[in-house]
Structure 1
Amino acid sequence: MPAAGVGCAFSRRAIDRIIAQRGSVDPFAADCLTEDYECGLLVNQTGGRSTFLRVRDESGGLIATREFFPATIAASVRQKTRWIHGIAFQGWDRLGWRVGPGDLWMRLRDRRGPLVALVLTVAYLMLLLWPMMLVLEAAGLVERVPSSPLLRGLLVFNLASLLWRLAMRAMHSGREYGWTEGARALVRFPVGNVIAIMATQRALVAYVRVLSGQRLRWEHTVHRVHVVTACGGEDHSGAALPSAA
């Protein structure tokens, strides 16, 4: 299971096995942009196992680490650029694909970011072209191509999947943070897609620069306000805590 860094615990045995495989005194690779993610995968590769814990305290609150995501588009793009570069591009180079079926599926899922960004770009361009095509069709300048039953079925399935995903996002966000945040989660969905598109472009450029011999750049996320301070001194956590052994 990949590790997200925060809210994550490694046993001493797991760290020792990773150190032995690396042949180094440091389990975390300084030249990896997502060293926490890589270290989580190495737990399994070195014979360990990981567990995703979702537990609550006596008051019903989730026991977890809580943090703010960058509040501006520029900072968000920088953050996601590092994730895409480290997981999709560096992960391919550093960890490869020679794993079992379960891990292979997870790595395909984790490294799909550049492909998703490409599909999103095409989709948003099609949304912009759609009203133009309707106008041209009404003017008799173009003729609509009839769609096949297979294509219509695929579109219906995709729409249903999108609505299901949005419903789950709103429901779970609203359950933990209030229904105002649940509604905001729907608004943030297209914003997140735009950030992903912009970040993928930057990550690809950065990766090509590294391949050409330039030095790897680390764009660290600046945390200006601690979540406990922002919450008035109380940390009402809202995520799960993974652990590895």
Structure 2
Amino acid sequence: MDAAIAWIDGIARETMLFAAIGFMIGGIDDLAVDLAYIVRAIRMRWRRSGVPVMADFPVATCCGRIAVLVPAWDEAAVIGAMLRATLGRFEHPDWRLYAGAYPNDRATIDAITAVAAQDARVRLVLNPHPGPTTKADCLNALWRAVLADSAAEGRAFTAIVLHDAEDVVHPGELRLYDHLLRRADAVQIPVLPLPDPASRWVSGHYIDEFAESHGRQLPVRDALGAGLPFAGVGCAISIAMLARIAESRGGVPFDDASLTEDYELGLTVRALGGRGVFVRALETPDGPPVAVRAYFPATLGTAIRQKARWMTGIALAEWDRTGWHRGWRDHWMRMRDRRTILAIPVLAIAYIALVTWGIDKALHWWRGSEPASVETGMLWVLFANVALFGWRMAVRFEMVRRAYGRGEALRSIPRVFVGNFVALFAARRAMVRYAALLRGQPVRWDKTAHHFPTDLAAR
């Protein structure tokens, strides 16, 4: 029995050491981003450069022609409502929406056709291949349709905007893109997941992650001048830049071999010397932000599938697809993008350490013996991790509170464990999927089911 307890003592000690050092490295990395965010805020206040408002982007001075691309596979449940809502919301004088579908997805085709028959601004584009292929392949079909219409009509589009079939678009976003693309090659606005009353914890954990990502991390990335990945929705890119990307890829701008073509597209803009910007604008000086809203996966199964796709595409495949880039800023940000898959073993071992320490304490209590004391150096590491975790939760609370209010901010603290649970199982699925891709399995559109809000007036 003594030998078994000594064995458990060793496991508890070594797993705690590994997890503590891993958490400390990640915590310092996050703290560096927080400090950069604080410096950015101080500089903005010093320069008196406030947050832009929609009055700065009047409709009267919009002069571009914008194509909105919405790829769809098996989206009959939401695409019709999304198209109708979009038609009634956008505030821009010259735009057209291209909805992509597949010849073997009759329900989605019918839903798009029903809307297109009532409004000429919606055009159905059929992919020449049966679905599902990849989202990038569907976007390339839409790109070819945009070029064909431009040539036939003798009027070129100036920008492409990307959206998904479940998105609630913001009325002013096309106005904002129109003005900002005059001095930038690409624009990304925030994505704010909609709170789902039926899934406060699973769907809700996306609220916390996007509030931090689009409230803190992307603004820092933009301020540093590092490559800015797209979120796949709420992003616009100039036709000129997209044409340059298409030229470098054999005629199409979206890489149909990529699982995360949106992320990769933003980095490609940077690689070609273009300028991408992240913009947080407000409707009014004290009003809500101009942002894209949508419901995110509400069940553990669908959340794990979506997170696995992101991990496979960004944390695994992008190591060899896009590599690195010149300069410490891009190295740092890309390492942060890819550290997710590296953090999972640390997280898993931390939970093992927690269980093992509990068992160890119980056995020593039962035997009436004293467990081995924790060395002073390890105590300092543990204290530092507690402080870093407390700071991390305070930052998350404030980011969520600013975007959603105190109620969601309070829920964001326990939702950390939901996010960890999803990430652990998503990492396993991502590794299996990536191994299959390395063996030559074709890339497929691994999408999840969506739903569209019925109380749109409140969004």
TM-score, normalised relative to structure 1: 0.88
In the alignment, the residues of structure 2 paired with residue 205 and residue 142 of structure 1 have an alpha-carbon distance, to the nearest angstrom, of 44
1:26 corresponds to which residue? Answer: 252
Return the letter of the residue paired with 1:99.
Answer: R
8 Å CA contact 1:28–1:39 kept in 2: the answer is: yes
Mean Cα deviation higher: 130-139 or 204-213: 130-139
From 93, 103, 110, give the equivalent of 2:320.
93
- The CA distance in 1 between the partners of 2:251 and 2:407, in whole Å, is 47
Query: Whole-Å Cα distance in 2 between the matches of residues 154 and 89 of structure 1?
Result: 30
**In structure 1, what is the equivalent of residue 385 of structure 2?**
158
**Maintained 8 Å contact 2:316/2:341:** no
Aligned twin of 1:48: 274
Aligned partner (choices 283, 303, 306) of residue 76 of structure 1: 303
- Choose from 414, 420, 443 the match for 1:216: 443
The corresponding residue for 1:102 is: 329
Q: Give, in whole Å, the separation in 1 of the partners of 2:303 and 2:339.
A: 19
More strand by share: 2
Give yes or no for contact 2:401–2:408 (8 Å, CA) kept in 1: yes
Query: C-alpha distance in 2, partners of 1:135/1:122?
Result: 20
Who is 2:263 aligned against?
Answer: 37
Name the counterpart of 1:7. Answer: 234
The structure with higher relative contact order (CA 8 Å, sep 6+) is: 1
Mapped partners of 1:56, 1:70: distance in 2: 27
Does residue 401 of structure 2 align to residue 177 of structure 1? no
8 Å Cα contact 2:314-2:337 kept in structure 1: yes
Distance 1:160 1:112 in 2: 21
Matches of 1:31 and 1:142 in 2, distance apart?
Answer: 59
What does residue 242 of structure 1 align with?
none
Q: Find the counterpart in structure 1 of residue 244 from structure 2.
A: 17
Amino acid at match of 1:53: V
Shift of 1:124: 1.1
Counterpart Cα distance in 2 of 1:180 and 1:116: 29
- 1:141–1:116 distance in 2 versus 1, CA, 3 Å: farther
- Alpha-carbon spacing, 1:141–1:211, altered in 2? closer, same or farther (3 Å): farther
What secondary structure does 2:281 align onto?
Answer: coil
* Greater displacement, 55-64 / 192-201: 55-64
Matches within 5 A, 1:112-131: 112-131=339-358
Q: Given the alignment of the two structures, is residue 233 of structure 1 paired with residue 457 of structure 2, yes or no?
A: yes
Q: Distance in 2 between matches of 1:142 and 1:64?
A: 59
Letter in 1 for 2:329: G
* Structure 1, 148-157 or 182-191: larger mean CA deviation: 148-157
**Aligned residue pairs, count:** 231
Q: Aligned residues: percent identity? A: 41
Q: Secondary structure at the match of 1:9?
A: strand
Unaligned runs of 5+ in 2: 1-227
Q: Cα 1:128–1:217, aligned 2, differ >3 Å: closer, same or farther?
A: farther
Deviation at 1:76, TM superposition (A): 0.3
- Does the 8 Å contact 2:393/2:413 carry over to 1? yes
Contact 1:82 1:218 survives alignment (8 Å):
no
Aligned-partner residue type, residue 150 of structure 1:
G
Structure with larger Rg: 2
Equivalents in 2 of 1:98, 1:141: separation in Å? 58
Amino acid at match of 1:233: A
1:21–1:46 CA contact under 8 A, matched in 2: no
TM-score (norm 2): 0.48
